[in-house]
Amino acid sequence: ELRTPLTQIHGYSQMLIDLTEEELKDPSYMKTLIEGVVKGSERMKGLVDLMFDVTEADVGEMRLFKGQVYLEDVIDQAAQPYLQALDERRIAFGKSGIKELPIVEADGTRLVQAFENLIGNALKYTPDGGTIKVEGQTKHLDDLGPVIEIVVADTGIGIDPEHHQKIFEKFFRVDDTLHHSTGKTKFKGAGPGLGLTLVKGIADAHGGRVWVESLGHDEVNCPGSKFHFVIPVQQPAEATRQRLKQSQIETRHWRRSDLIDEMME
């Protein structure tokens, strides 16, 4: 996975070095090459970030920066990067019960990350014209007490029961031949197989859990998948229905990139 963007960066850089006198006079050609380098490095940074996060979760050391989180903002932010692709692929996206969920004490940025992965997967494994629904409710679980549950349900290709646990393991993907080589939003676009590991890490760090419900894998009849994400309700005593300022969700970004910068030095 790291080799692909590295090859891209190397290839475009080499082309920049080899520019002829004639090509040097063509700003649009130069721009294309430089954009290739930038895209490759962004993809690589995304992967390094993800590996870093997964490692943190893996050793049980995911640090949370908690604040009061309004879950509708979380879902809206998580869906934001996919709006265009949802539109292009005619996939209906709906929310229900999210607005009614109580404000929770949680790491908003991490929750956005978790739902970005779940919604992104729903998009990747649902054929054009399908539906993705995000449904919220509060309930009581014997071991966790009061929880909020958010279910991301799709009408996609589904997952065989034998893989329901394994998909949360690092680098596990159901079947390599199933995936196309590229595309974060394309049908069956390939990923590194780390997304759900991170989602699980985030649920665990909040004292919650995540699991999948699906009748099986069937690309013709598309039984769909439902990912359940549950975290205990830790409502601040003074919780009111104030809308949160975006800044509370954004707090972690600079810290993570700072760490990456340190690593790169």
Rule CB under 6 A: which residues touch ligand ADP? 117, 121-122, 125, 154, 156-157, 159, 167, 172-174, 191-197, 225
Closer to ligand ADP by Cβ: residue 67 or 136: 136
Instruction: Identify whether the C-beta of residue 40 lies closer than 8 Å to the C-beta of residue 5.
Output: yes
Residue 125: CB minimum distance to ligand ADP, A: 3
Least Å from the CB of residue 123 to ligand ADP: 8
Residue 169 has what DSSP assignment? S
Closest residue to ligand ADP using C-beta atoms:
191
What proportions of the chain, in percent to the nearest 5, are helix, strand and coil? 45, 20, 35
Where do the DSSP E strands lie in 14-164?
67-69, 92-96, 104-106, 131-141, 145-154
Q: Which is nearer to ligand ADP, 103 or 116 (CB)?
A: 116
As measured in angstroms, the least distance from the Cβ of 23 to ligand ADP is: 37
Which residue, 79 or 104, is less far from ligand ADP as judged by CB?
Answer: 79
CB 229 within 8 A of CB 151: yes
Provide Rg for the chain, Cα atoms. 20
* Residue closer to ligand ADP (CB basis): 104 or 203: 203
β-pair type (92-96, 131-141) = parallel
Distance in Å, CB of 68 to ligand ADP, minimum? 28
Find the shortest distance in angstroms from Cβ 192 to ligand ADP: 5
Q: Which is nearer to ligand ADP, 105 or 135 (CB)?
A: 135
Mutual angle of helices 71-79 and 108-124, in 10-degree steps: 40
User: How far apart are the C-alpha atoms of 188 and 124, rounded to whole Å?
Assistant: 5
Phi, psi angles (nearest 5°) of residue 132: -125, 130
